[in-house]
Structure 1
Amino acid sequence: MKKVTIQDVAHKAGVSKSTVSQYLNQRFEYMGVETKEKIEIAIKELNYQPNILARSLKQKKTLTVGIIVANILHHYSTQVCRAIEDFFQGHNYHVIICNADDNPEKERKYIEMLRAKQVDGLIIVPTGENRELYKRLVAENYPLVFMDRKVEGININNVILNNRLAVHAAVFHFVEHGHKKIAMITRTPKVSVREERIKGYFEALEHHFLGNDVEFLRTTELENIQHEFARLMELKSPPTALLVGNDLVLMEVLKGVKKGRVAIPKQLSILTFDEVNFAELYDPPISTIAQPAYEMGTKAAELLLDQINGKQMEESRDYLFEGILHIRESIASLK
């Protein structure tokens, strides 16, 4: 069968090739409703498939962007990816999602692969370990946005949570309920988001004159979280409240709660970063610090598209979002 061309669509719709081209590129400023309808009907009846490769060469764009997340299992990551995909779908872009597993080598390979595919830009939750590669992308003015984490010395737009403020709010809530022995458990602080939360934790303890007991801070990898939680609860004077670093850490903590038969909230009050689907279904329902992940993903997508379109950007900066406390029955009052 003969391949249907843009000329065939123009002939059937009774318009010029340039008018069909304007329709395909969504330039509707001077196009009447009747003309749009004629072209749409012609495309459907002829089953016309635009030559995406040819259009990409003409526009010098592939209309594709890449996302590299640290761990796709995070509820936060899936929400962010959904927001970015929704935004770019609305602008006729395709999205390729890659999962780096917090592995710098995987991250490097994904960046190189996506560049080889000539994606128009990248949104990355960085491992922080590929500094020279990040610097090269910035030097080339390649459209790039970081999410969730900052990398010192890399001058680009960062879309992040105000982590220190969120931790201060969490500790304040514990203190309001009479807690003085407040612990925190999180993954090893290899990236900025964990470092900021730990700083916020010690700042908040100092602000409320609660001392600086390093025994109450536990940092380790996921496979050791249950062990560290058990050690925390075996202290001579164990904590009465626990701030959990993220949703994956929470899963391990709750396994430790079950194994150790720790009574929540009678024995230990819990508040965790990241809103998760089961938080309200757990018994008792878990208090959370929700990140506005969808809004953050949308903002990152907007910033990236502006760069792709060559919009004159202001000085690169941090776009800070505030966490939202969802207080449920996992926090007991000691007053």
Structure 2
Amino acid sequence: MKKLTIADVAKHANVSKSTVSQYLNERYEYMSEKTRKKIKDTIEELNYQPNILARSLKQKSTFTIGVVVANNVHTFSTNIIRAIEGYFYQQGFHIIVCNADDEPQKEKNYIEMLRAKQVDGIIIFPTGDNLDLYQQMIRDQFPIVFMDRTIAELDITTVMLDNHLAAKLAVDHFVEKGYRNIAIVTTSIIRNISPRVERIQGYREALESYGFPVKEEYIKTAPAEEISEALTELFSLDTPPEAVLAGNDIVLNEVLRFIKNRNLKIPNDVAVIGIDEVPFADFYTPTITTVKQPTVEMAHLAAEQLLSQIKQERVIDTGVHRFKPTLIPRFSC
């Protein structure tokens, strides 16, 4: 069966091929509403499918965006991906999502694959261990935006949270509620992953601002699968903490599981605050106080910055854009 072409649509709708092309590219400025409807009805009647490859070659764009997530287990990552997809869908782009599992080699393979597929740009939650690859992308003037994590020595547009403030909001709330022995638990900082490092720094600074000593034994970092062991060490101290700041949603899950297994009561035995809003926070018993990231706003800015690079609309903004978090007080503290 012969494949339909723009010429077939134009003939059937009694308009020119260029008019059909303008319609397909959503350039409606110079056509009447009647013409638009006629072309739309013809496309539906003939079941015409535009040749995406031909369109890509002609416009030198694949209308595809890559998103390389460090770890898609995080609720934050899932929400960011969804918002990025929604933004680019409205712009006529598709996205390809890749999960690096916090493994630099896996991240490298995905970035190389996406570039081989000639995506128009990539939003990356960087693992931090592919500096040569990131630098090559800069030299190639390839559109790239970092999300959630920053690498100081690279001039790459970055969108992330004010992590120092996130930890400060939590510590402030603990102190306001009368807690003094406050611990922080995060996943591994082996590769100096910026949100985790910055949240610990913010925790230290907040305690110091109150004149409280920073107890190193109250700072725990470990891979996700070893968080339970780290918590066991923490609560085996001669003076266990009265309050725990969970550095992200994965840690929060482990903290709540540990507390339940130990038959501890929240907040009577230990108060809890988690950085990152989680779906169960408002119906867990007791409800969980969290520090929320403005995920939609962050995702949209990252998408806007990437699209601006793709369209070469202005000089590339290589700054770090930080968003303010919000404390959502509930009954775990």
TM-score (norm 2): 0.98
Question: 2:198 corresponds to which residue?
Answer: 196
Matched, 1:278 2:280: yes
* Aligned amino acid, residue 127 of structure 2: T
* Distance in 1 of aligned mates of 2:12 and 2:96: 35
Instruction: Map Cα deviations across residues 265-312 of structure 1 (whole Å, 9 max, x no partner).
Output: 001100001111111121111111111112211111111111111111
**Contact 2:88 / 2:303 at 8 angstroms: preserved in 1?**
yes
* Aligned amino acid, residue 83 of structure 1: A
Instruction: Report deviation, 1:153.
Output: 1.0
- The share of aligned pairs that are identical, in percent, is 50
* Distance in 1 of aligned mates of 2:247 and 2:25: 45
**Contact 1:230 / 1:260 at 8 angstroms: preserved in 2?**
no
* Distance in 1 of aligned mates of 2:276 and 2:317: 30
Instruction: Report deviation, 1:314.
Output: 4.7
* Distance in 2 of aligned mates of 1:57 and 1:22: 16
Question: 2:56 corresponds to which residue?
Answer: 56
* Distance in 1 of aligned mates of 2:156 and 2:227: 33
Which aligned pairs between 1:163-174 and structure 2 lie closer than 5 A?
Answer: 163-174=163-174
* Distance in 2 of aligned mates of 1:251 and 1:168: 21
**Contact 1:202 / 1:212 at 8 angstroms: preserved in 2?**
yes
Question: 2:235 corresponds to which residue?
Answer: 233
* Distance in 1 of aligned mates of 2:169 and 2:275: 12
Question: 1:242 corresponds to which residue?
Answer: 244
* Distance in 1 of aligned mates of 2:253 and 2:29: 52
Which aligned pairs between 1:1-335 and structure 2 lie closer than 5 A?
Answer: 1-189=1-189, 190=191, 191-331=193-333
* Distance in 2 of aligned mates of 1:14 and 1:154: 54
Say which is worse superposed, 128-137 or 174-183, in terms of deviation.
Answer: 174-183
Aligned length: 331
Distance change >3 Å, CA 315–CA 92, structure 1 → 2: closer
* Distance in 1 of aligned mates of 2:47 and 2:316: 44
* Aligned amino acid, residue 62 of structure 1: T
Instruction: Report deviation, 1:4.
Output: 1.0
* Distance in 2 of aligned mates of 1:3 and 1:220: 57
**Contact 1:187 / 1:249 at 8 angstroms: preserved in 2?**
yes
* Distance in 1 of aligned mates of 2:4 and 2:187: 56
* Distance in 2 of aligned mates of 1:305 and 1:315: 12
Instruction: Map Cα deviations across residues 111-155 of structure 1 (whole Å, 9 max, x no partner).
Output: 000000000000000000000000010111100000000012110
* Aligned amino acid, residue 37 of structure 1: K
* Aligned amino acid, residue 211 of structure 1: P
* Distance in 2 of aligned mates of 1:97 and 1:113: 12
* Aligned amino acid, residue 222 of structure 1: A
Instruction: Report deviation, 1:183.
Output: 0.6
Unmatched 5+ stretches in structure 1: none
* Aligned amino acid, residue 109 of structure 1: N
* Distance in 2 of aligned mates of 1:195 and 1:31: 55
* Aligned amino acid, residue 207 of structure 1: S
Instruction: Map Cα deviations across residues 19-47 of structure 1 (whole Å, 9 max, x no partner).
Output: 11011011112221111101101111111
Say which is worse superposed, 3-12 or 93-102, in terms of deviation.
Answer: 3-12
* Distance in 2 of aligned mates of 1:316 and 1:112: 22
SS of residue in 1 equivalent to 2:330:
coil
* Distance in 2 of aligned mates of 1:76 and 1:313: 29
TM-score (norm 1): 0.97
SS of residue in 2 equivalent to 1:258:
helix
* Distance in 1 of aligned mates of 2:316 and 2:71: 30
* Aligned amino acid, residue 165 of structure 1: L
Unmatched 5+ stretches in structure 2: none
Instruction: Report deviation, 1:315.
Output: 3.8
* Distance in 2 of aligned mates of 1:283 and 1:219: 26
**Contact 1:79 / 1:294 at 8 angstroms: preserved in 2?**
yes
**Contact 1:126 / 1:146 at 8 angstroms: preserved in 2?**
yes
Say which is worse superposed, 312-321 or 214-223, in terms of deviation.
Answer: 312-321
Large movers: runs of 4+ above 3 Å: none
Instruction: Report deviation, 1:313.
Output: 2.5
* Aligned amino acid, residue 277 of structure 2: E
* Aligned amino acid, residue 103 of structure 1: E
